[in-house]
Structure 1
């Protein structure tokens, strides 16, 4: 079962709080285990394209079941394979900072992705979003 809508909003709120502390303006996307958008929160001042990027990164992580850093490693190790994944998935596969699986015990519930800040800020915001999820 994916995170509830209430939990998704809490994840977004925690990520936005961290972004505010860092002086970043970001968009946070939460998708279910199949990569379908569940909730999206774009802070005032976040770059316009950040909504599409966050959604794409979150869906990629959920579908391939690897955090963004692992997807970047795959992209570097097997560029030809990685280049074809979007054709198989039917959507672009994005490997980027700030994208993490959402898990409860050993079960993948979906993914969170943050876009719009510096890569290290996107990572920190995604991690902050996941803190407190039980």
Structure 2
């Protein structure tokens, strides 16, 4: 049997605080979702003035990154590359840049999804959150 790291509450709080700080530093109104490795919501933070739909998009991006074990942008690129049939993939809804897996020792332990600004800026916020863990 193998052992694997898991996100603890303190880890989630570190990610959330760093991601929020990055968003606020840039005056970006976003929603930040953090999920475990199965895509289950651990933390959701909708900042002031973030549009309501960003809650659903951020959560979907995080879920997609966790379940796929890769950045959600990979799926966006596949679709933009002409493989439109990928839109029918089951249980994958957040196929836009801004969802990033949290990897430790090559294993996915969760993911962060952000929505509310340009997709590359969403990803910037997610990266800042993950970087705060120092993995």
Is the TM value for this pair above 0.5? yes
Please, what TM-score do these two structures have when normalized by structure 1?
Answer: 0.88
State the 1:53 CA deviation.
0.7
Q: Is the 8 A contact 1:55 1:113 kept in 2?
A: yes
- Measure the CA separation in 2 of the matches of 1:122 and 1:76: 19
Residue 117 of structure 1 aligns with which residue?
117
Partner of 1:127: 127
1:8 Cα shift?
1.1
TM-score normalised according to structure 2 size: 0.87
State the match for 1:66 in structure 2.
Answer: 70
1:61-113 deviation digits (Å, cap 9, x = unpaired): 11122202211122234221x1221xx32xx5221122101011111001101
Unaligned runs of 5+ in 1: none
Moved over 4 A (4+): none
> Is structure 2 residue 52 aligned with structure 1 residue 51?
no
The yes-or-no answer on 1:37 pairing with 2:41 is yes
